[in-house]
Amino acid sequence: MKINKVIGYQVLDSRGRPTVAAAISLTDGSTHTARVPSGASTGMHEAKELRDKGSENEEKFYAGLSVQQVVKNINEKIAPRLIEEQIDLNVVDAHLLELDPSVDHSSLGANATLAVSLAAAIADAHSQNKSLARFFNPDGPLLIPMPMVNILSGGAHANRNMDIQDLLIIPVGAKTFTEALSWIVAVREMAAKLGKEAGHSTNLIADEGGISIPFKSVDEACEFVISVIEKVGLIVGDQVGLALDVASTQFFESEKYNLTNINKSYTSEEFVKYINNLVSNQPIISIEDPFAEDDWSAWQQFMTIAPKKLQVLGDDLLTTNLVRLNKAIDQKSANAILIKANQNGLVTSTLNVLKQARANNFNTVVSARSGENEDSWLSDLATGWSAGQIKVGSTHGSERNAKWNRLLEFEAVEKTKFLNPFN
Ligand code: 2PG
Ligand code: MG
């Protein structure tokens, strides 16, 4: 099946900011659309998301956040190439790479390349009469990833109410995804209730739907979530583990980690000790970005002393980038990678990063961004690629629940197996 039409246009995301959509129409009359997400605590090594601010095409009505130039790139540069050359859907990414060979896709914008790349994958799946998940994993049971779900939010997603960005839970004792989600919903509800009873304002719902309570220290936040899990009747450790996204790049300045809520600054070496104490004293089974994106030696040092079973997850450190991943493999800087398609810019090369991580025994966590939309392709990618885990934010907001609901759908209608990388 061939491409008939490619149209880029601007839509709004969950923060009410513009983002890019691409629609690909095929010769059978069908149309396939993908919308791209957008981060707030972005790493500097991510592929480049272009916006109009400061450009010739600046669009003032959207506070400079519009993406009209990117839309133009799709309509005037990408579309003619894909249509006139009558290319097959499975080589769209190769053509996008030729059109923009820059490592960070800064000439067309990674938000242009990813929108088209995703729409092409969805269209290709359709041309084979398959869902996107089955397109990538045609045989055997679909493997459903373990969810990692935000309960408390801080950092860039919640007015810096807490220094760390997320306190999440992982329902490691659940036997199915459906059971896992039921526990998560129970914990989130109880967190809101107990938070209010303790006199906190729980009114601020963060960008990813987490509850924002201004806990001063990480220990305080952990202890609160532990009490919530216990109150629900679940066993901390056996059934539910804690996870952190420290997002430390956000508070690393002048070579110091500055925890402003407790008024303390740490050198890299001191912060390695601080993090190691934290993970040794709390039931934390996964820690993301404990150190800043270029503080490689802190990562390496930590890995030599960290508890053996701890998942040490690189987000800003690795930015779904093959070169950075290979460096982390060589230097033993982490043992898990967050996979975000828009940090990379193309579906095929995102998958290559995931494959390389898996081949080197890294855990893989497919992740949404803080600025999301109603699309659910993320759940299809995570499942089709058999990623061990998925991170979508909280269970609040339709842009988040679209992804959870897609996984519930798989479990209801397909033959599935629920993955547990923590077993
Ligand atoms: C992260 C993501 C998602 P953002 O840091 O892992 O939680 O945040 O999309 O803002 O980079
Ligand atoms: Mg992160």
- Residue 158, pLDDT above cutoff 90: no
| Ion ligand 2: residues, CB < 5 A | 245, 315
What is the pLDDT, as a whole number, of residue 58?
Answer: 85
The whole-angstrom separation of Cα 419 and Cα 423 is: 9
Q: Which helix (H) or strand (E) holds 352?
A: helix 347-359
Same domain, residue pair 96 and 203: no
Lowest-confidence pick of 58-62, 169-173, 234-238: 58-62
Residue 377 has which token pair? 């392709």
Is the residue at 12 inside a domain?
A: yes
Q: Is the pTM of this model over 0.85?
A: yes
Same domain, residue pair 87 and 202: no
Same domain, residue pair 411 and 328: yes
What is the pLDDT, as a whole number, of residue 161?
Answer: 86
**128 close to 135: Cβ distance less than 8 angstroms:** yes
| pLDDT average, residue stretch 214-241 | 97
What is the pLDDT, as a whole number, of residue 202?
Answer: 73
Same domain, residue pair 40 and 76: yes
CATH number at residue 386: 3.20.20.120
* Structure confidence at residue 145 as a pLDDT band (50, 70, 90): very high
Is the residue at 270 inside a domain?
A: yes
Helix and strand numbers (H, E) in the chain are: 14, 16
- Residue 181, pLDDT above cutoff 90: yes
What is the pLDDT, as a whole number, of residue 106?
Answer: 97
How much distance in Å is there from the Cα of 49 to the middle of ligand 2? 17
- Structural domain boundaries enclosing 367: 142-418
What is the pLDDT, as a whole number, of residue 334?
Answer: 98
| pLDDT average, residue stretch 149-153 | 96
User: How many structural domains compose the chain?
Assistant: 2
- Residue 153, pLDDT above cutoff 80: yes
Is the residue at 349 inside a domain?
A: yes
Please identify, among 100, 129, 158, the residue that sits at the C-terminal boundary of a domain.
129
| pLDDT average, residue stretch 176-185 | 98
Is the residue at 136 inside a domain?
A: no
Same domain, residue pair 234 and 192: yes
Is the residue at 33 inside a domain?
A: yes
Same domain, residue pair 406 and 309: yes
Is the residue at 272 inside a domain?
A: yes
> Residue 352, exposed/middle/buried by CB under 10 A (0-12, 13-18, 19+)?
middle
Q: Burial letters for 36-58: b for 16+ Cβ neighbours within 10 Å, e otherwise?
A: bbbbbbbbebbbbbbbbeeeeee
* Structure confidence at residue 211 as a pLDDT band (50, 70, 90): very high
Mean pLDDT of the chain: 96
**First and final C-alpha spacing in the chain:** 43
Same domain, residue pair 313 and 378: yes
How much distance in Å is there from the Cα of 375 to the middle of ligand 1? 17
Same domain, residue pair 171 and 122: no
Same domain, residue pair 108 and 182: no
Please identify, among 70, 99, 129, the residue that sits at the C-terminal boundary of a domain.
129
Same domain, residue pair 400 and 367: yes
Q: Burial letters for 89-124: b for 16+ Cβ neighbours within 10 Å, e otherwise?
A: beebbebbbebbeeebbeebbbbbbbbbbbbbbbbb
Please identify, among 104, 129, 154, the residue that sits at the C-terminal boundary of a domain.
129
Q: Is 340 a catalytic residue?
A: yes
Is the residue at 423 inside a domain?
A: no
Q: Which numbered atom of ligand 1 lies nearest the CA of 288?
A: 6
CATH number at residue 98: 3.30.390.10
* Structure confidence at residue 201 as a pLDDT band (50, 70, 90): confident
Same domain, residue pair 199 and 312: yes
Is the residue at 135 inside a domain?
A: no
Catalytic residue of the set 49, 59, 208, 372: 208
Same domain, residue pair 119 and 59: yes
How much distance in Å is there from the Cα of 331 to the middle of ligand 1? 24
Residue nearest to atom 2 of ligand 1 (CA): 369
The whole-angstrom separation of Cα 385 and Cα 143 is: 9
Q: Is 208 a catalytic residue?
A: yes
- Residue 57, pLDDT above cutoff 80: no
